[in-house]
Chain A
Amino acid sequence: METSRLTSQRIREYLREGKRFDERALDEFREISIETGISKNAEGSCRVKFGKTEVIVGVKMDVATPYPDSPNKGNLIVNAELLPLSSPRFETGPPKFPAIELGRVIDRVIRESKFIELEKLCIKEGEKVWSVFVDIYSINDDGNLLDAAALGAVIALKNARIPKWDEKEEKVSYGELTKKKLPVKKEIPLSITFYKIGEKFVVDPTKEEEDSADLRITLGSYKGSISSIQKGGEKSLSVNEFYALLDSYKEIWERLFKKIEKFLK
């Protein structure tokens, strides 16, 4: 269901007074829940919920040849599917722009933060390295799939274990997971996306809010540094507005981190 113009107008009116339909503060995330190990054949998997938004992320691994420009590093492949199951707006067929962009933005959040220690995934330089596939599936889209997917990818990777590599047979023995965890850094990257609605910026929009937004800007960050940015939408924002976001960023990051900290053990 599309969001009506009337609803969008009302959302803007509310925001002008600093209010949201669900009574959250403008910079407040919805309730977050995370469940890991939800798909046993995956090397790592999790389900992340932001309110009614739900994504499932699975990690699979395989041995492949490295890319010529990184002969001693593992490969990372991130893919996102916006399942028709998850919203009446998504259709079957080849991935369209939103799914492609989602996969690519999450790829950069993970890759640019150097969260995965890809150099530890080399089996034989120039010949054999581990490929890490991160597959993201939407289960229910109620806005902000971006940040939910990024968090899901991080948690699934953090929980992933490397399968056994049979050197003699030169193949992966799936099902025989080693005790070795996928080498990831202790500090996690997080993605926070700001949506501009009218003159205000909010985080973690519901679908109605997302529909009412003029633009969005996704900031991936790691250990206090920004490591990836994606601006989306057809409107512009002023430099001062952007600076204001950057100034509020740290606090929002820390509050989000507090919400999810208990799931990271």
Chain B
Amino acid sequence: MKSKSFERIDKRKFDEIRPMKAKVGVVPNADGSALFQFGETVAIAAVYGPKKMHPQHLQNPEKGTLRCNYSMMSFSVAERIRPGPTRRSTEISKIIQWALEPVLLIEKYSNTVIDVHINILQANASTRCAAINAAAMALAHAGIPMKDIVSSVSIGKLDKQLVVDINKYEEDWEDGEGATDIPMSFTGSGEITHIQLDGKISIEELKEAIELGRKAVKKIYEVQKKALKEVINCENGNEQTN
């Protein structure tokens, strides 16, 4: 974890996450919903289900199905993207499903589907991490049995410097070895449920990056937990306002 003199564009420390915001119950129609924000990256997630899977041939009699749908709003990035699925969003949707499934206890929900819809309202890198964090909260809010929650963060390597929670500027880093982007997700107990990497990194550095990620997600986990607790306390006191 290189020099201390390294300065990030937004003056953050190398292991500092952008200001986080988490809120539960942002979509009243949904069975569970949440917003998660890393700085200028905002994701909202809504859960519908468990409900009967249609068409019938997609039903799984052995366990429930988790179905994720990640999509970016057309104006969430500098250059407008056409609405509708892309190859990128298709992959990320599946990655999110894989990141979340390990903590779900849905073996008994045979022939049903749990739909998680995630939309990126504003993007400044790390959108899949924000999406996973929001989706995990929304699932918990929907009352889906879970043995743990999932928290996600991106670790970046800018030239030789490791940093936590990269933003767009850092993602486009070109000096030296360029940028390596490593989004990763952990369960509360520290299991890896998702990891991806684009760039170039040594094995030693990768281990360091994972250690950094493990530390960072603990803070994210606390933010998620706090937001969930708030709404549960509210609901018990019948004071929930939407």
Using CB atoms and an 8 Å cutoff, list the residues of chain A in contact with chain B.
Answer: 38-43, 45, 52, 54, 56, 58-60, 62, 79, 81, 83-88, 92, 94, 133, 135, 137, 139-142, 172, 174-175
Contact = CB atoms under 8 A, between A and B. Distances in A.
Contacts of B242: 52
A58 B27 contact: no
Contact of B44 (A84, A85, A88): A85
A52 B117 CA distance: 19
Interface string B39-76: 01010111010010000000000000000010101111
A62 B26 CA distance: 32
Contact of A60 (B26, B46, B74, B85): B74
Contacts of A41: 75-78, 122-124
Given A39-B76, A85-B30, 10 more contacts: A58-B73, A60-B80, A84-B48, A84-B115, A86-B46, A92-B85, A133-B75, A137-B73, A139-B26, A142-B28
B84 interface: yes
User: 7 tightest CB-CB pairs across the interface, nearest first?
Assistant: A58-B75, A174-B78, A42-B75, A85-B117, A60-B80, A85-B46, A39-B122
Contacts of B123: 41
Given A52-B28, A79-B74, A140-B29, A88 B40 contact: no
B121 interface: yes
B84 A40 contact: no
A184 B48 CA distance: 40
B79 interface: yes
B73 A39 contact: yes
Contact of B27 (A79, A86, A92): A86
Given A38-B121, A94-B84, A142-B29, A84 B73 contact: no
Nearest to A175: B78
A39 B119 CA distance: 12
B127 to A, nearest CB: 12
B122 A40 contact: yes
24 contacts: A38-B121, A39-B73, A39-B121, A41-B75, A41-B77, A43-B75, A56-B73, A56-B121, A58-B75, A58-B76, A60-B74, A60-B75, A84-B69, A85-B33, A85-B44, A88-B48, A88-B51, A92-B69, A133-B74, A133-B75, A137-B73, A139-B27, A139-B44, A140-B29
Contact of B79 (A54, A137, A139, A174): A174
Contact of B117 (A43, A59, A84, A94): A84
B143 to A, nearest CB: 16
Nearest to B30: A85
B83 A79 contact: yes
Interface residues of B, number: 35
A79 B83 CA distance: 9
Contacts of A52: 28-29, 242
Contacts of A43: 75
Contacts of B73: 39, 56, 58, 135, 137
Contact of B83 (A40, A87, A135): A135
Contacts of A141: 29
Nearest to B67: A92
B46 to A, nearest CB: 4
Contacts of A133: 74-75, 80
A41 B122 CA distance: 7
Contact of A83 (B40, B75, B77, B119): B119
Contacts of B75: 39, 41-43, 45, 58-60, 133, 135
Contacts of A87: 29
Contacts of A142: 28-29
